[in-house]
């Protein structure tokens, strides 16, 4: 990073964001309110957006006072709300926001969404798997922006806004969600940024997202390689439609009579896997580091005679279902995206009841799908009703993803639209783009095995030397989806690592990830795939320096 733009850093923690040479303060801080107010009502011409819209406008611009302290400090900024209008008058607007700091570092960062989106991510938020002891992007002086991807979830939608899928019935809204809204939002945001700071565009623009946002991060690298200089993609649902098909397979398996493990049995399964595989890395600590080596058979929990004997064992139908959702599934028909199946989840995933909605849920799938079923089951239900059949009354349990009958062509068409699975990132890499790819091995909603397959596809397509020049892939043992109540809640300052790589050419070297669970103090090496942390046998088990990155 150029020293004229350096942050004030002590012991790796950003203590303050000053305005060194090269940063921008628009016409004096006293003028910020007037400049911000002047944005209200500004038209966003359709010509500045690289995909079809009918233009848009800024609907609100408000100067927000400084807030927070230390790593949560956010300086004064202008919060802009805007709407981009569709070509199809029946489609919803894309609603977006841009945060324009009074003291700007001349760079921008776009946040990705989650689930079916439908709300605008917080502009003052952190990157996925971000640390708690370093300033967030807006606090560092970034202009941040995000959108709802082109539809609005109803207020108070249950069980969560990110499961609202009715918008999928409109073709333009579906295309926006599949990726078009990313380009439209980026171009409109750059226009607003240029208008406020009186310059053509930011020096550099980054993207950070997890889950659907991780898919979006890979989408911008694959499709619009000139728009972003670096991306952070975390637990990416990159093969979105194929994942939907897996969710359908999982739903049908768990809907079989007696197949659904009750919450107490899910905990039983989780605890048994931990007992069996926790020590494979040399340290029993509640984290399975060498997941591929975890050879666990749920039959060890079988009830006598295979009959349901209560919450201290598993019946034969439950064991059959658990094995099915933990195994790879191959679709016996071609998909237009080129995907052929889904790799399934480790036994550990989905059984940790600290986040039941994201895993198997607390009640079995049925018709209609209950709101207490797992997230993936509800995701499948909405996709079938609004994207595939476009019949809100359709029984999603009646559609077999392995034999979809009359819906096969429509499903294949959706994979071509929604799966962001190109492994040729040479255009992005040639422009100097950099990719940081991360996934927790205890993810209960998007399998890390799929991300492994994507990364291995990158290497196969581009060659290991080319991939190593622009990408890093890290698996984080114990981290789950959205980093909620995880065995190891990952915290790594990936944004600083990405900045350094893009701006100075220095790739991440021996990074360390911190457990951000309340009261946790332990750290681990962040190992490049295919390595995993292994305890050396000496030194504090809470210190990364006591671990090696091992393979095999």
Catalytic member of 233, 481, 494, 515: 481
For the chain, what percent of residues have pLDDT higher than 70?
Answer: 93
Identify the residue whose tokens are 């990155």. 549
3-state helix, strand, coil in the chain (%, to 5): 35, 20, 45
Residue 443 designated active-site:
yes
Mapped to the 3 state alphabet, what secondary structure does 150-186 carry? CCCCCCCCCCCHHHCCHHHHCHHHHHHHHHHHHHHHH
Q: Which residues of 287-297 are buried (b: 16+ CB within 10 A; e: fewer)?
A: bbbbbeebebe
Give the length of the chain: 552
Confidence class of residue 356 from pLDDT cuts 50, 70 and 90? confident
In this predicted model, what pLDDT tens digit does every residue of 459-483 receive, in sequence order?
Answer: 999 999 999 999 999 999 999 998 8
pLDDT at 128: 97
pLDDT at 357: 73
Residue 31's alpha-carbon distances to 35, 67, 201, in angstroms, are 6, 19, 21
| Residue in 168, 236, 235 with CA at minimum distance from that of residue 484 | 235
Q: Report whether 33 contacts 90 (CB < 8 A).
A: no
Confidence class of residue 552 from pLDDT cuts 50, 70 and 90? confident
Residue 157 scores a pLDDT above 70: yes
Joined together, the tokens standing for residue 171 give 């073709």
The per-residue pLDDT of the chain, averaged, comes to 93
For the packed helices 240-255 and 375-382, what is the interaxial angle rounded to 10 degrees? 110
pLDDT at 200: 87
Residue 308 designated active-site:
no
pLDDT at 25: 65
Q: Report whether 160 contacts 522 (CB < 8 A).
A: no
In this predicted model, what pLDDT tens digit does every residue of 298-341 receive, in sequence order?
Answer: 999 999 999 999 999 999 999 999 999 999 999 999 999 999 99
Residue 545 designated active-site:
no
Catalytic member of 149, 211, 447, 494: 211
pLDDT at 14: 34
In this predicted model, what pLDDT tens digit does every residue of 240-280 receive, in sequence order?
Answer: 999 999 999 999 999 999 999 999 999 999 999 999 999 99
Residue 438's alpha-carbon distances to 241, 390, 419, 527, in angstroms, are 21, 34, 19, 10
Mean pLDDT throughout 531-536? 97
| Residue in 433, 495, 378, 419 with CA at minimum distance from that of residue 212 | 419
Q: Report whether 26 contacts 197 (CB < 8 A).
A: yes
pLDDT at 500: 98
Catalytic member of 180, 227, 229, 443: 443
Kind and range of the H or E run holding 219: helix 212-223
Measured on CA atoms in the order 518, 520, 526, 530, is the torsion positive or negative?
A: negative
């Amino acid at each position: 990073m150029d020293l004229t733009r350096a942050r004030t850093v002590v012991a790796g923690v950003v203590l303050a964001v000053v305005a060194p040479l090269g940063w921008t303060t628009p016409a004096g801080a006293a003028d910020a309110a007037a400049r911000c107010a002047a944005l209200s009502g500004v038209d966003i011409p359709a010509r500045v957006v690289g995909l079809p819209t009918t233009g848009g406008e800024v609907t609100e611009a408000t100067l927000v006072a400084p807030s927070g302290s230390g790593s949560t400090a956010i300086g004064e900024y202008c919060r802009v709300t805007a709407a981009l209008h569709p070509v199809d008058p029946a489609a919803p607007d894309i609603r977006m926001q841009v945060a324009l700091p009074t003291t700007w570092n001349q760079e921008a960062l776009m946040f990705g969404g989650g689930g079916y989106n439908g709300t605008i991510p917080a502009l003052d938020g952190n990157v996925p798997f971000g640390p708690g002891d370093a300033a967030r992007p807006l606090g560092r002086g970034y202009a941040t922006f995000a959108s709802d991807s082109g539809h609005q979830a109803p207020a108070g939608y249950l069980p969560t806004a990110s499961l609202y899928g009715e918008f999928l019935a409109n073709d333009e809204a579906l295309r926006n969600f599949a990726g078009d809204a990313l380009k439209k939002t980026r171009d409109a945001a750059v226009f607003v940024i240029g208008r406020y700071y009186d310059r053509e565009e930011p020096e550099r623009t980054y993207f950070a997202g997890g889950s659907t946002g991780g898919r979006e991060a890979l989408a911008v690298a694959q499709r619009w390689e000139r728009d972003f200089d670096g991306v952070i993609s975390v637990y990416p649902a990159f093969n979105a439609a194929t994942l939907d098909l897996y969710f359908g397979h999982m739903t049908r398996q768990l809907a079989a009579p007696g197949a659904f493990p009750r919450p107490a049995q899910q905990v039983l399964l989780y605890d048994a896997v931990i007992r069996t595989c926790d020590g494979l890395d040399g340290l029993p600590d509640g984290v399975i580091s060498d997941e591929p080596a975890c050879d666990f058979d749920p039959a060890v929990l079988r009830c006598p005679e295979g009959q349901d004997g209560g919450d201290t064992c598993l019946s034969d139908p439950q064991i059959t279902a658990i094995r099915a959702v933990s195994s790879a599934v191959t679709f016996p028909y071609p998909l237009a995206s080129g995907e052929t199946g889904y790799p399934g989840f480790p036994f550990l995933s989905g059984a940790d009841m600290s986040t039941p909605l994201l895993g198997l849920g607390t009640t079995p799938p049925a018709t209609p799908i209950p709101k207490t079923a797992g997230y993936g089951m509800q995701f499948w239900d909405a996709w079938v009703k609004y994207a595939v059949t476009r019949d809100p009354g359709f029984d999603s349990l009646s559609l077999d993803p392995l034999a979809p009958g009359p819906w096969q062509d429509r499903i294949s068409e959706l994979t071509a639209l929604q799966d962001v699975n190109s492994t040729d990132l040479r255009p992005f890499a040639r422009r100097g783009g950099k990719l940081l790819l991360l996934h927790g091995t205890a993810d209960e909603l998007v399998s890390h095995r799929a991300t492994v397959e994507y990364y291995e596809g990158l290497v196969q397509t581009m060659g290991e030397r080319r991939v190593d020049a622009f990408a890093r892939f890290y698996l984080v043992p114990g981290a789950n989806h959205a980093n909620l109540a995880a065995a190891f809640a990952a915290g790594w300052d990936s944004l600083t690592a990405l900045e350094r790589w893009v701006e100075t050419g220095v790739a991440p070297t021996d990074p360390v990830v911190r457990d951000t669970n309340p009261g946790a103090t332990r750290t681990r090496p962040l190992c490049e795939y295919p390595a995993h942390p292994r305890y050396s046998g000496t030194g504090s088990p809470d210190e990364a320096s006591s671990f090696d990155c091992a393979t095999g």
